[in-house]
Amino acid sequence: MGATTAPDVTVIIGAYEAMPYLIRCLESVDAQTLPAGRMEIVAVDDGSTDGTGEYLEEFAARTAIDMRVVRQENSGGPSGPRNVGIGLARGRYVFFLDADDYFGEEALERMVAMGDRAGTDVVLGKVIGVNRGAPKSMWSRTEERVDVHRSKVIYTLSAQKLFRRDLLERIGLRFDERLETGEDALFTMEAYLRGAGVSVVADYVCYHLVGRADGNHATRRGGYTLRFDAMEAMMALIHRLEPAGPKRDQLMVRPFTVGMLQQFATGLLRQPPDEQRHKMELAAPLMRSYWTDGVARRIKVAERLRLACVARGRLDLLTDVLRFLRGGEVPELVRSDRGDKLFLAYPYFRDEAAGLRESDYEVTVPDWHGDDRVRRPKRARGTAPQQPSTARRAVRRLRREIRGWRTRLSLG
């Protein structure tokens, strides 16, 4: 590697059995509008047997980009190769490019310019799927700096982003090689929370997320027990880095809705009873430690109710709720006597024997009642909150007088 000055960006590629997708991947790096002298490639062949390592070395011999190829025994996942790449990187930024995927031609130039202009430590470039789905909610507009707690960026925690290398070195951030799934989400969330800001490039397709014909995607690794391990790691990270309060509650919505709810969707009804019970057992300590009213009130009723059943260890109630949802039934919309609350009357609403709370059914965020959008009722502007009744005021006054008599007697 002949360059003496640090490049702007190091493209880190961990590759395992990546042919023929690797060909387009590397061509997309070679085609970048960012000049070759301003970037480098660190590619790690993780024990491939399909010619991946040989192709990496062939490409390194003919590209104008400084490129280092590491060939190692298979590590069992993407974390090891990525960590090797971080250790060898010299760029001011690093980008983790999966060997199946490819860049838009202006991707690195635009993202580096954004990071330099905004002074942020993480830059997201717009992602689209090729023969597979891709996240969409965070690409509504280009922003130099987003509020992580309010933005949709917490719903894209894959590693395919531009990270300032100084951040990774300053806080010692690496991928957790003990996790067999979810390691990229943990890495990215920590960078979001400990870095100097997050930027979004939404007006140009920077990254093409490719669906392999053989379906062999890293995101599909592992069984459900590994998913619970990943959830626990994410929940613990958020609690460690974010003080208790509304901001933490908002961040915790992510692992509960993206992680936990996926394990307790209607597909649970098709799973063997032993597996259903095992999932409830795995969820129990997480619900005890991390499920709070502050989190619950930021989630839609149908989702919150399922989690409330899990929190209470009531597989029987959960099963009935899931059957109701699978049937496509629409719950009754119920207004409180005072008109200040709306409820979606899913199964067991106001059934004292079931042990679920009325608040589990309350509309607290924009929700759906069939095809209609429903929202939490708002008190009309200029109206006073409802006052306690005369009887209630009299009872409260009497209680204060009694407390006063007791105090005077104890002092006497």
What pLDDT was estimated at residue 312? 97
Q: Residue 336 phi/psi, 5° resolution?
A: -65, 160
Average pLDDT over residues 207-217: 82
SS3 label, residue 362: strand
What pLDDT was estimated at residue 213? 82
Average pLDDT over residues 332-359: 96
* 176 carries an active-site annotation: no
pLDDT, mean over the chain: 92
pLDDT of residue 407 exceeding 60, the answer is no
pLDDT of residue 223 exceeding 60, the answer is yes
User: How many Å apart are CA 48 and CA 56, to the nearest integer?
Assistant: 11
Task: Give tens-digit pLDDT for 85-98.
Answer: 999 999 999 999 99
The H-assigned helical ranges of 291-357 are: 293-296, 301-311, 315-326
pLDDT of residue 35 exceeding 50, the answer is yes
Q: How far is CA 46 from CA 16, 87, 241, 384, in A?
A: 5, 16, 32, 67
Task: Tell me the pLDDT band of 395, cut-offs 50, 70 and 90.
Answer: low
User: How many Å apart are CA 4 and CA 25, to the nearest integer?
Assistant: 26
Task: Give tens-digit pLDDT for 139-167.
Answer: 999 999 999 999 999 999 999 999 999 99
Task: Give tens-digit pLDDT for 36-59.
Answer: 999 999 999 999 999 999 999 999
What pLDDT was estimated at residue 241? 98
Pick the catalytic residue: 184, 249, 360, 367? 184
What pLDDT was estimated at residue 394? 55
Helices 52-62, 21-30: inter-axial angle, 10-degree rounding: 20
